[in-house]
Amino acid sequence: MFAYIIKRLLYAVPIALAVTLVAFLLVHIAPGDALNAIAPADAPAETIAALKAAYGLDRPLPVQYGLWLGRALQGDLGASIASGRSVTSEVMAAVGNTLSLAGVAAVIGVLAGCVLGGIAGYRHGGWVDRIATFISVIGVSVPHYWLGLVLTIVFSITLGWLPAMGAGPEGGWFLDGAHLPYIVLPALTMAVVPMGILTRTVRAVVVDILAQDFVQALRAKGLGNRRIFRHVAKNAAPTVLAVAGLQLGYLMGGSILIETVFAWPGTGFLLNTAIFQRDLPLLQGTLLVLCLFFVLLNLLVDIAQPFIDPRMRRT
Amino acid sequence: MLSLRKRLLPWLALAPIALAASTGAWAETVARYGISMADIPLTTGQPDRGAGAYQFTGHTLYDPLIAWESNIGDRPGKLIAGLATEWKPDAKDPKKWLFTLRQGVKFHDGSAFDADAVIWNLEKVLNEKAPQFDAKQSAQVRPRIPSIASYRKVNATTVEITTKEPDALFPYQLPWFLIGSPAQWEKMGKDWNKVASQPSGTGPFKLDKLVPRERAELVRNADYWDKARVAKTDRIVLLPIPDAVTRGNALLNGQVDIIETPAPDMVPQLQAGGFKIVKNVTPHVWPYHFSTYPGSPWTDIRVRKAANLAVDRSAIVQLLNGLGQPAKGQVDATSPWFGKPSFDIKYDLKTAKALMAEAGYSPQKPLKAKVIIAQGGTGQMLSLPMNEFVQQSLAEVGIQVEFEVVELENLYLHWRSGAKGDINASKGITAINLGYVTADPFYGITRFVNSKYVAPNGVNWGGYADKEVDAKIEQLSTTFDVPTQNKLLADIHQKMVDDALMLWVVHDVNPHAISPKVKEFIQAQHWFQDLTTIRM
């Protein structure tokens, strides 16, 4: 197992490198100028040239990338061109906020998806199945931006129950009384996609498992539905875990739209700003950290799976 | 004898009243302000994020040598004394300006403001070799103070600034240049990033807290040198909310008390909810800037005039739910620089069609033109529908416009390159749509018509060159009397309009939506707003 973990961690290195290289090239291929982050639109040519020299943007692209990579390997992601603040501190603050949001959204999405999918699988072909499938299709298809606005209009403006935006006061635990109201609406909005995907996955897996011979055998042995459900759940768990892990990874990337609608200061919000300002160090740093998170989450899922399904240990 | 309980009872009954009274006396007044930016602008001295950012972290924390009068709303402001009490050109050499500095002013950190501080701040943005030089601040302000050639301290209360050539409009550049504390920079280990969270200026507010991308809290500077501008609210919390609908929702929900630029679609809902929409004449225009180089379809003045007459601007204002004002030129008709143009810009389809017919075009035989526009960010929230409206209006008179739609940052590249630049010429682009801030004579008028500033030397994008206009600009540079300056500027503007140099569509009105909790907010006719006027 230890060798497996090391091998997987080593795989993360080329993935992270590729992500940063692609991000670097995309920013340079895109029209516009990295100096738009700091130079006014009508800055004269000599100001632009002086700034390019000051930020090393006048050097050849491979040199720029190499220098950034050299610093990143030493744990220094540089400073944002726009704000001058450390990219590491900017990204970590945003990751903390997105982690809170993604965590709550994942819990809601996975729980709702498992329950709905499980019921639909057990009631395969019936009206309950159709309703659950309909909900899952809605979950996957509904535009986030629209849903966020509708939820805000209903719960913040009409009913006045929840705040319309922001992450709450500074400091404190994200689920304490002062912060909890702020996370409800963005988390619900964010949870609909994993909920939809999980519902469909769980439904398909449950239907498949229920049709297998061993379930018939269990029934023939006289096991009750509750004990059979335990076997079904155990068999479904690895697939559900793999899909849930992927979904959490996607959620960690933050949703630019959701974080914008709710002015949630997470990674999506940060990426949005970095992209529009062509703030290359911030963009690269954020993508690198998110990529590492994604790889780490998948690794954790892979490590957890053999503990849930002993058959995977043999393979 | 009364029992202790009975004796205490009257006093206990009074306790809640006393508590309420004391709470009232000590309660801090707080205004929560939803701003349209994605982050708090730079707090180190020279804000980034454009002219609109100066009201938040510029003129709140710092003062300029010469300020802009921003605490009045019923007329355009004017230049007023800031940290300099007097300024005048040297009688013998008009390139030299002498500034008499205000005495007794202290920075928020307690250090004294003097001539050394002014020189130190000039070095900070103009001298790359100075230890305090900050590339970020320099990039923001250098284009705003292009006339400065050199500077020197004359004595503790006098500074001399020399311009590259005689420039009577030089004082208009100085409200952009803000003075920070050298002592604070030393105290923060000469680290501008540390100064950002603990800045020190002489302004009417001090920065109490900065949480990047989330909030900045400004507290009243009770010792502010200008007693008439001591803030009326104890604390102003700036909250970046870039999405207009989210800002509106936050206001409706009571999370903020004031927002800038509400979404036009939300205006009726906000008004119905008891919120007030505040707007005013604002130095901003949203035009199509024509190329007048040979080969451009806009070289014919009849076509340019027809384009200006083809657009029903009141319909566009209606589309904006009233958050705009029909443009009759580069500046608003109430501006002292408007003049008396003979070409009256209005909606006159008949004349527009006649002009196009005279030029040899009609809807059946249209003139083709390519205009570069951005998908957003040009100063109007509904820029795409507005562009489509203009496109349809022009088609009605026989001008078939094709759009080249790019991202805003890319549009700036096209702008800086000028119509003749390869980036535009190779694609046949002959007009560009951008928002222009018209707050001062240089930014608003002369840089677009001065033949010295033909792109890439400046932003005279279309290559406009007129000897009469150039002569007036030359005359303006040595005219130090303000009424005569205004007259010259009016003449230049008049010529711009009569030549239909651009297709002027609407002026912004810098709308704000405010909660009934806000008792007073004076909106100046400028991008500089005075947050000290907010009273809760």
Q: What is the pLDDT of residue B411?
A: 87
| Nearest Cβ partner for B213 among A79, A260, A265 | A265
Instruction: For B269-296, give one letter per residue: b (16+ CB within 10 A) or e.
Output: bbeeeebebbbbbbbbbbbbbbbbbeeb
φ and ψ of B193, to 5 deg: -65, -30
Distance from CA of B397 to the nearest CA of A (A): 33
3-state secondary structure B412-481: HHHHHHCCCCHHHHCCCEEEEECCEECCCHHHHHHHHHCHHHECCCCCECCCCCCHHHHHHHHHHHCCCC
Task: Give the C-alpha separation, A36 to B397, whole Å.
Answer: 38
Q: Which stretches of chain B drop beneath a pLDDT of 70? A: 1-26
Task: Give the C-alpha separation, B58 to B202, whole Å.
Answer: 11
DSSP B199-246: ---SSSEEEEEEETTTEEEEEE-TT-S-GGG--SSSEEEEEE---HHH
Q: Answer for the pair B448, B492: CB distance below 8 angstroms, yes or no.
A: no
Q: What is the pLDDT of residue B1?
A: 44
The CB density around residue B150, as the number of other CB atoms within 10 Å, is: 13
3-class state of residue B371 by DSSP: strand
Kindly state the tokens that stand for B138.
């320099």
Q: Among candidates A148, A239, A236, which has minimal Cα distance to A192?
A: A148
Query: What is residue A86's DSSP assignment?
Result: B
CB within 8 Å: B416 and A55: no
| Nearest Cβ partner for B242 among A94, A149, A260 | A260
CA angle (B207, B210, B214) in 5-degree steps: 135
pLDDT in tens, B317-360: 999 999 999 999 999 999 999 999 999 999 999 999 999 999 99
φ and ψ of B183, to 5 deg: -65, -35
3-class state of residue B93 by DSSP: coil
Q: What is the ipTM of this complex?
A: 0.82
Q: Answer for the pair B424, B392: CB distance below 8 angstroms, yes or no.
A: no
Q: Which stretches of chain A drop beneath a pLDDT of 50? A: none
Q: What is the pLDDT of residue B392?
A: 97
The tokens 């690198």 sit on which residue? A288
Q: Among candidates B111, B58, B506, which has minimal Cα distance to B288?
A: B506
CB within 8 Å: B48 and A38: yes
Put simply, whether B14 touches A (Cβ < 8 Å) is: no
Query: What is residue B535's DSSP assignment?
Result: B
CB within 8 Å: A276 and B459: no
Residue spans of beta strands (DSSP E) within B54-95: 63-64, 66-68, 79-81, 84-89
CB within 8 Å: B139 and A153: no
Kindly state the tokens that stand for B177.
């240049």
DSSP B95-161: TEEEEEEPSS-B-TTSPBP-HHHHHHHHHHHH-TTSTT--HHHHHHHGGG-TTEEEEEEEETTEEEE
Distances from the Cα of B32 to the Cαs of B109, B118, B239, B254, B518, in angstroms?
25, 33, 7, 10, 10
Put simply, whether B406 touches A (Cβ < 8 Å) is: yes
The CB density around residue B329, as the number of other CB atoms within 10 Å, is: 28
3-class state of residue A177 by DSSP: coil
A-B Cβ pairs (cutoff 8 Å, strict): 134
Kindly state the tokens that stand for B504.
């002027």
Q: What is the pLDDT of residue B26?
A: 61
Residues of chain B contacting A35 with CB distance shorter than 8 Å: 139
Q: What is the pLDDT of residue B89?
A: 93
Give Cα B243 distance to the centre of its chain: 20
Task: Give the C-alpha separation, B71 to B55, whole Å.
Answer: 12
Q: Answer for the pair B466, B499: CB distance below 8 angstroms, yes or no.
A: yes
CA angle (B25, B26, B32) in 5-degree steps: 110
pLDDT in tens, B448-485: 999 999 988 888 999 999 999 999 999 999 999 989 99
CB within 8 Å: A47 and B143: yes
Residues of chain A contacting B426 with CB distance shorter than 8 Å: none
